[in-house]
Amino acid sequence: MQHMEFKVKWGMVIDLDKCTGCGACSIACRAENNIPPMQDASNKLRTTDWMNIYELSNGKKFPDLEIAYLPRPCMQCGKPSCSTVCPVVATTKDEEGGIVSQVYPRCIGCRYCMAACPYHARYFNWFDPIWPEGMEKTLTPYVSARPRGVVEKCTFCHHRFNAAKEQARMSGADPLDLPEDAYIPACAEVCPTGAIVFGNLKNPEHRVAKLAASKYAFRLLARLGTDPQVYYYSKRDWVRQLGDNYLQKELKGGEHV
Amino acid sequence: MSEREFWPEGVERCDLGKFLAWLGFISIFLVWGAYGAYKVLGTGIGVTALDNYFGFGLWITFDLAVIALGAGAFFSGFLRYIMRIDELKNIINLAVIVGFLCYSGAMLILVLDIGQPLRAWFGYWHPNVHSMLTEVIFCITCYCTVLIIEYVPLILENRQIAKNRFCHHLAHNFHVYMPLFAGIGTFLSTFHQGSLGGMYGVLFGRPFVFREGFFIWPWTFFLFVASAIASGPAFTMLCATFMETITGRKLVSYETKKLMGKIAGLLLCFYMFFKILDTYAWAKGILPGMGLTFDQMYNSAAGYGKTWLWVELFWCGVIPAIMLVTPAVRNRPALLYTAAILDCVGIVINRFVFTVQALAIPVMPFDQWFSYAPNWAEWSTSLMIIAYGFLVMSLSYRYLPIFPQERALNR
């Protein structure tokens, strides 16, 4: 499979030891990306939370019980399982920092990308988007409202990247060498504990690059080979093990393959 | 002119009142399905039971299943026109109609299934050459056109239509060129049957279905082709038998049915050999390689137990394969039909497993199992397609000369 590499690689490190599961990232994402409130949110499998938060447990009884929260945006995979399967090139791995984009006017709503994504990071618009009266005034003008029948997903607030590039151009700076914090997605900006760090994974000056290189950093389902650009960070072994499909009686050295 | 004069020459059909009552019964399902389709197209597929975990559900299972069962058309055409197995001329017309119904029905369901039906043509306009689904879109629409071309001469052979010189000669010429269309159909159908399997085989994020590549194709590409041609002829034979039961007339000789059963049996053996090999390699190699165990793939409480696997492989795989290749079994109608039914059920289970069960498996260790049960909107529209098949088949049987042996068998 083709592995796309670009000069800039936007990435995220989420410190699971800092995350309190408050949900601010999820709410900020909804507000920033014009995700409409649901008429009936009772079916949680039909919600449209681009930033979903999972509760992780070490499986032990109190007082040994430990909990961690794992916010899950789109992993912006280096080798996306979704874009290669889309029959109409509605989703692609972009040169714009390796963000996996979604072209809503081209999506035919076949949902093949949803079937392909092991992270469940893609969401289908089951219903027409309806905002309560007056709420339309709060919509972000740079993000399109998606119609019924298309798949949508987190794009690392790509519109903010465009704004940051414009700002850089206007000030005479290189838009492909943005300083840290010139572009950060809404979830990272709003996180009250600073658990979400965002930046260019290929720029050693950025904190995200240093954190991703840490021995405590891991990627979700790394064994599948999707090469995510979202890293998680935890000093707790059980959290890191849960990040991959940990096999209790795992054979070593590839002898089982 | 009486309605009788539209019947094929020298055959008997039920009286018009009875036939209209039958069509009225079929119409109940058509109307219910049309209402479901209206709701789906009008308000979106939010009216179904599909969700973000089960983007693929009953409709896709139905599509994959009918396309596999409709493989009798292309494979019988291949054997009849390319391999020159003359005996199949007695059932080839039925195979074509069954194939046409399966493919056109699948396309109708797909129109409902995609979220943006008005953009369905984007598959041609913005094709992604890396996507197996692109290949399916191209092949399935092209092959459906081929089936229409193969069906048209049958319609033109209606006793009254054939009186028109142009229609008569057109039908004749269509028949002359039929080997060409059979060849094109075989090429197209082989590829999209394979691509339907390939669609799942390339999902490397889904351990249940992912298979390593064989050249540029995942292994499931070949398994789907093999399973389709192993069940298609059996399904065509069962359709003929079902029609005989309903109409009370002999339509296809038992010799022809036995031949179809033998073809299906040999191919089922071929398929089962590789399917069992594949399952073993998947359980012992691929899953542990991904850090998963065999047991993790199943959850009986959620309705995805190992029962499906054993029923598919043993009761609906190995057993009918042995039965169909055994001449003594094939000589007994009840056993032949039982084996054919098991064969078809096994392939339907296989398609269910690849679409619904495969998506139910939580790949992230902290994720949960979820169940899926289709709701009325999915059932009504799926039954509508089956009713549509009954409608077209009923009209074709009544007015078109489908079965060349019918007169001789009912003397």
ipTM, 2 dp? 0.93
Neighbours of A257 (CB within 10 A): 10
Nearest neighbour of B44 by CB, restricted to A54, A149, A226: A149
E strands, B114-215, in order: 213-214
pLDDT digits (tens, 9 = 90+) for B290-327: 778 888 899 999 999 999 999 999 999 999 999 999 99
The verdict on A41 touching B (C-beta cutoff 8 Å) is no
Instruction: State the alpha helices, DSSP H only, in chain A.
Output: 24-32, 112-116, 158-170, 186-190, 207-212, 237-243
Nearest-5° angle of CA B65, CA B287, CA A79?
85
> In angstroms, what separates the C-alpha of B34 from chain A's closest C-alpha?
20
| A175 token code pair | 């838009």
Say whether B398 sits in a helix, a strand or coil: helix
- CA nearest to B143, candidates B96, B108, B110, B208: B96
Please list every residue in chain B whose beta carbon sits closer than 8 Å to the beta carbon of residue A109: 45, 114-116, 119
* CB contact burial B133-162 (16+ within 10 A = b; e otherwise): bbbbbbbbbbbbebbebbbebbbbbbeebb
Q: Do A245 and B292 touch (CB under 8 A)?
A: yes
Rounded to the nearest 5°, which phi and psi values hold at B338?
-60, -45
- B280–chain A Cβ distance below 8 A for any pair: no
Please enumerate in sequence order all residues whose Cβ is within 8 A of that of A121, keeping only pairs 6 or more positions apart, or say none. A50, A52, A72, A73, A74, A75, A153, A154
Q: Which of B52, B113, B121, B353 should one mutate to test binding to chain A, selecting the residue with the greatest count of A CBs within 10 A?
A: B52
Identify the pLDDT of residue A97. Answer: 86
* Shortest CA distance from B370: residue in chain A: A45
State the amino acid at position B394 in one-letter form: S
Q: Which chain B positions have a beta carbon within 8 Å of A250's beta carbon?
A: 288, 291
pLDDT in single tens digits along all 411 residues of chain B: 788 999 999 899 999 999 999 999 999 999 999 999 999 999 999 999 999 999 999 999 999 999 999 998 889 989 998 899 999 999 999 999 999 999 999 999 999 999 999 999 999 999 999 999 999 999 999 999 999 999 999 999 999 999 999 999 999 998 888 889 989 999 998 888 999 999 999 999 888 899 887 888 899 999 999 999 999 999 999 999 999 999 999 999 999 999 999 999 999 999 999 999 999 999 988 888 777 888 889 999 999 999 999 999 999 999 999 999 999 999 999 999 999 999 999 999 999 999 999 989 988 888 999 999 999 999 999 999 999 999 999 999 999 999 999 999 998
Query: Tell me: the pLDDT tens digits for A152-178?
Result: 999 999 999 999 999 999 999 999 899
Residues within 8 A of B (CB atoms), A 167-206 only = none
Select the residue of B128, B285, B288 nearest A88 (Cβ to Cβ): B128
What's the gap in Å between the CA of B151 and the closest CA on chain A? 29
Residue found by looking up tokens 């904190």 in the block: A207
Residue B392 belongs to what H/E stretch? helix B376-399
